[in-house]
Amino acid sequence: METQFYLLLSLKTPRGFENYGQYFLGDDREAAHGLFESLKGKGEIDGAALLHTDLMETVNELPVKIKTIACTLEEQGCNSKLIAREIFRQRNLDSYEE
């Protein structure tokens, strides 16, 4: 079974944290961790954090949370641009290097 990585986006609501988006990163562990480490936000989660980004891995088809960061809305906007750029690069430009 192949391991897959993805980013899970969630926001705080009166009912708790609810997921609102995902970015699928593929099966490259090093690339997934590298991208996550380049995201803006804090690794220290406090009660005031309204937006979370989780690095997730599927293990035996079950989701496993690896790391979490808390972001402001501005940081999440910057992260979305960075994620889109990196996924585009991986899917389009890296294929020319092979």
Number of Cβ within 10 Å of residue 5's Cβ equals 21
How confident is the prediction for the chain on average, in pLDDT?
Answer: 91
Predicted TM-score (pTM) of this structure:
0.88
Q: Retrieve residue 44's tokens.
A: 């220290």
The closest of 53, 54, 66, 49 to 12, measured between CA atoms, is 49
Distance between alpha carbon 93 and the CA centroid of its chain, in Å?
21
| Per-residue model confidence (pLDDT) at position 71 | 93
More confident: 52 or 44: 52
Question: Does position 98 have pLDDT exceeding 60, yes or no?
Answer: no
Do residues 69 and 42 lie in contact, with contact meaning Cβ atoms separated by under 8 Å?
yes
| Per-residue model confidence (pLDDT) at position 95 | 58
Q: Which residues contact 2 (CB under 8 A, 6 or more apart)?
A: 27
